[in-house]
Structure 1
Amino acid sequence: MAASSQDHSLAAAGLMIAAMAVIGVIDNYIAPLARHVGLWQFHFTRALFALPLVLSLSLIGLGRLQPMRLWAVALRSALVATSMLFYFTALAMMPIAEALAGLFTSPIFILLISVGALRQRIGIWRIFAVLLGFLGIVLVLQPDPRDFDVTVLIPICAGFFYALGAITTRSLCRGESTVALLAGMWITLGTIGALGSVALSIWPQVSSGDEVQFFNRPWVWPIWPALPLIVLQAVGSVVAVFMIIKAYQLSEPSYVSVFEYSVMIFGPLFAWIAFGQPVGGWQVLGIVCIGLAGTIIALRSR
């Protein structure tokens, strides 16, 4: 490998790790934010802050806003937005280690969908990776078959829809500007947030005495207690995604994607330091298994 290529790979790894560190920190503040506003209001107001930042990326020459195939970008945006709805709901309901473990089942779902729906052939290593990843999910989420709680499926749904979004990106959105894809996601999330807020205002889902949850809380005003955390999420997300984009531009995607799993270190570590969220030994082992599974799938996909 040439020196310049090595430099690019090191820079890409550094950018991806930095992006995951940012995400690992800001996503820990969803649970405190959920005490003040609901899921739909959060997505709408966050998009209002994020979209001007995305526009600035286009203005400085990092990509065009207009997609080449609107329907493909819209489909991809809907799938990723659905994934984020499940993921942020999970963040408000459970420790970040469990939410991240569910989201990062996406490489396993990508492999299963590629085999089942797209009829691609895989080898023994990637079959082993799927089994290892499933073991990791069980260790992190620790579902009790005697007292099954459907909430453990919420982060796994996030991973499933994220996988569909990734497959759509690869198969239908080749050649699209990353800024266009990013703008499509934010517009979709903002629109879904607005529609959800209106729907809950017309048809409230809580009565007097009911417990208000993140996903069924109607519009709250004023939102000043939550505003700093919403701005933190908007700015942090755009900065992190920018670094992710740059990392994938600098080096081979199968090499760069391995470093995404560092968020499973940063997220739980910050949760433990800042909020005292414990991570058990079996959960640590499960995180390692999911990370190894994703790494094997990435390396064997070269």
Structure 2
Amino acid sequence: MTSLPRPRQDSSLGILCLCAGLGLFSVQDLILKLLSGSYPLSQAMVFRSLTALPLLLLLAARDGGLGTLFTPGTKAMIGRGLVMFVAYAAYYLALPALPLASVVALYFSAPLFITILSVPMLGETVGWRRGAAVLAGFGGVLIILRPGAGVFEIAALLPVLSGLCYGLSMIFARKLGAHESAAAMAFWGNLVFLAIASLMALAFGGSTAPDLHPSLAFLLRAWVWPTALDATLMAGCGVIAALGLTLLTQAYRIADANAVTPFEYSAMLWGVLWGWAFFAEWPDAVAWSGIAIIVTAGLYVLWRERQLQKGS
């Protein structure tokens, strides 16, 4: 068994890895939203996971050797993979029911959860100023969610669940990163995705009624034979997953959670762009106000982090 030395801490490189990974995953969001009206989630995830598997093995071989896949932390990496599965499945199931920008914006409870969870789970310090910014960010999430309003959509809770689980998974990555490689964590996460998606295909393989909620239809729809283009798009998600999962995991291995999480908000730009370009979606005034609050809160957290690093 191989154990890795604790990675060198590099906030700038961690931020770069995070932004690159989020840019890649935004393309996957676009693909899955395009496919969600014709195929089941399990089919897309199986195609994605099978394509990613050999790529992740190659990355693991390059990043310390295949021995890094089998360590005393393997069970913990599998456990993290289960949390990651819930995060991504909840996110994907929201795509057919909500505008892409809204899904991304609501998902951005994730950096807020990460900041909160970094205190009890990592022993990091979050002062009252950043704490207030986190509360403001959650206020922005509530504005977009609009609980109690006539426009409330139950599927809007899915990206929030995704944000919580994603935050937990990244905190676990930070803790595991002292001994496990980013490629190993991505490999086991992908293997969990493949196993559970295969079970979903067996459990939810029947035909569905046409009047089901879009999220339920995406979950329960029977497998269909894909066109060549759609099969290529599903497989392309595997390449994105292999590279994206490794980049995101690496970001939280080599940088403090509070330093990199504000840059999670860069994905909002992609969500708005893809939604406008492909689905003619544009956030309304209320949604824009919520997005503005979330982004402002994130930028403040980043600014405060830099101030603390300077000793002020």
TM-score by length of 2: 0.80
Determine the C-alpha separation between the residues in 1 that align with 2:98 and 2:82: 24
Amino acid of the residue matched to residue 52 of structure 1?
P
**Correspondence 1:241-252 to 2 at 5 A:** 241-244=245-248
Determine which of 268, 272, 275 is the counterpart of 1:271: 275
- Distance 1:217-1:255 versus aligned 2 partners, 3 A rule: same
Amino acid of the residue matched to residue 133 of structure 2?
A
The offset of 1:154, in angstroms, is 1.0
- Distance 1:11-1:227 versus aligned 2 partners, 3 A rule: same
- Distance 1:197-1:72 versus aligned 2 partners, 3 A rule: same
Partner of 1:157: 161
Determine the C-alpha separation between the residues in 2 that align with 1:263 and 1:80: 18
Asked if the contact 1:107–1:297 (Cα under 8 Å) also holds between the matched residues in 2, the reply is no
Partner of 1:40: 42
Determine the C-alpha separation between the residues in 1 that align with 2:259 and 2:123: 25
Percent of pairs identical after alignment?
28
Any unmatched runs of 5+ in structure 2? 1-9
Partner of 1:103: 107
Asked if the contact 1:19–1:240 (Cα under 8 Å) also holds between the matched residues in 2, the reply is yes
Amino acid of the residue matched to residue 186 of structure 1?
N
Map Cα deviations across residues 61-96 of structure 1 (whole Å, 9 max, x no partner): 356322432221121111111111001111222112
Amino acid of the residue matched to residue 31 of structure 2?
Y
Q: Does 1:184 align with 2:188?
A: yes
Map Cα deviations across residues 34-53 of structure 1 (whole Å, 9 max, x no partner): 12210111111210001111
Any unmatched runs of 5+ in structure 1? 1-7
Determine the C-alpha separation between the residues in 1 that align with 2:120 and 2:279: 41
Asked if the contact 1:102–1:157 (Cα under 8 Å) also holds between the matched residues in 2, the reply is no
Of 8-17 and 179-188, the range deviating more from structure 2: 8-17
Of 102-111 and 176-185, the range deviating more from structure 2: 102-111
C-alpha RMSD over aligned residues: 3.1
Q: Does 1:51 align with 2:40?
A: no
**Correspondence 1:127-206 to 2 at 5 A:** 127-146=131-150, 148-171=152-175, 174-201=178-205, 204=206, 206=208
- Distance 1:67-1:104 versus aligned 2 partners, 3 A rule: farther
Of 190-199 and 228-237, the range deviating more from structure 2: 228-237
Partner of 2:97: 93
Determine the C-alpha separation between the residues in 2 that align with 1:151 and 1:278: 18
Determine the C-alpha separation between the residues in 1 that align with 2:15 and 2:118: 27
Of 238-247 and 39-48, the range deviating more from structure 2: 238-247
- Distance 1:184-1:264 versus aligned 2 partners, 3 A rule: same
How many residue pairs match? The answer is: 292
- Distance 1:116-1:15 versus aligned 2 partners, 3 A rule: closer
Partner of 1:25: 27
